Amino acid sequence: MKKLSEFLWPLIGLAAVVVSGYFLYQELKTTSIHAIGAAILAIPPHRIVLAGLSTLVAYAALAWYDRIALLHLGVRHISWLFVSLCSFTTYALSHNIGASVFSGALVRYRAYTAKGLTAAQVAVLVALCSFTFFLGTVLLGGICLVYDPELLMRLDGRLPSFLTDSKTALTVGACMLGFVALYVAGSVLRLRPLHIRKFKLEYPRPEIMLRQLLAAPLELLGAAGIIYFALPDAMNPGFIPVLAIFLASFSVALASHAPGGLGVFEIVFITAMNITDVAQKDAIIAAVVVFRIFYFWLPALVSIAVVVVFERARLAAAIGSAAHPTRPATIPEPPVTAPGLDAHEMERQLKQKAL
């Protein structure tokens, strides 16, 4: 069954690309590459600059994810520069390769074991970073739905009516915020871990929890800001709706296991913007392309160069001297254990596949 699962998820991702590609084609068949290119060129230069700055904010927050995880592990000897380069490379590659938690683990394993971390520590780090992202998505999603329960009405006619009802949105938003409140209370009050079947929530120290609640929303706000600044004023519904649509699109893209969420992110975002005018649709597609360029493609190109330089340096160090043994460390549990996010299972896979 485990061998079957290794082929199942790539097949699901491929199927998601094919299906979303079909629906995306239906959306794009009334436009042209020339029209989309013209829409990109029509974006004011200062908005392109703001989109670029938003990208820097997003990737700086992602580096903070790693730093928080290292603090949770009690590791303080690794410099911010190394952490930032490792985080940037990990996310730049995993964003493009696929949505799997494990897709970025190997990069971290290669980098952090060079600094003395064990496979177990890297596995906890990966699990905590993934949960930090999940926590930020739940927090911002809850805020958006409570602030504007009419947001789901954009999908009226595409989803069952009870799912687009404002009362449903308000209830879902309140539940999402309630989950975050439980996490905060559990950390502050040092509650016992929460167990729900295979799901286990372990509450970290309050200082770790507070950093998570700052870093995760900051990353998502920066990523959503790229599209927000790339949209023209005439059809920009405001930051909260754009943020909500971005969160939904990005979450569906991650769940699809499609490489880089290709096609899935685009079709969900374009559909949720609820635009029928061809010229306006061109501008929305242009904003999505700008997002792909800034958040996916340019970082991927830079990360490849970083990986090549790092691996050359690591090879030279291995040839020049034997690896120094590291003293065993006490490894705290990650804040969450769930199918696909079990640090012990990730440790086992890292030991098998990373070398």
**Are the C-beta atoms of 145 and 173 separated by less than 8 Å?**
yes
* pLDDT value of residue 98: 64
Q: Within 190-238, where are the H helices? A: 206-230
Per-residue pLDDT of the chain in tens (355 residues, 90 and over written 9): 455 555 555 566 566 667 666 666 666 666 778 888 999 999 999 999 999 999 999 999 999 999 999 999 888 889 999 999 999 988 988 888 764 545 567 788 888 988 888 888 888 898 899 899 999 999 999 999 999 999 888 887 777 888 888 899 999 999 999 999 999 999 999 888 777 666 677 788 999 999 999 999 999 999 999 999 999 988 889 999 999 999 999 998 888 877 778 888 988 898 888 877 777 888 999 999 999 999 999 998 998 888 877 666 655 554 554 444 455 556 776 666 655 566 666 666 666 655 5
Hunting for tokens 């900051």 — which residue is that?
A: 218
* pLDDT value of residue 123: 86
Q: How far apart are CA 205 and CA 187, in angstroms?
A: 6
336-337 vs 199-201, strand pairing mode:
antiparallel
Q: How far apart are CA 282 and CA 249, in angstroms?
A: 18
* pLDDT value of residue 277: 75
* pLDDT value of residue 322: 43
Strand (E) or helix (H) holding 176: helix 166-189
User: The pTM is what?
Assistant: 0.83
Domain extents for the chain? Answer: 49-320+330-353
- How many beta carbons lie within 10 A of that of residue 135, not counting itself? 21
- 81: which 2 tokens? 């520069």
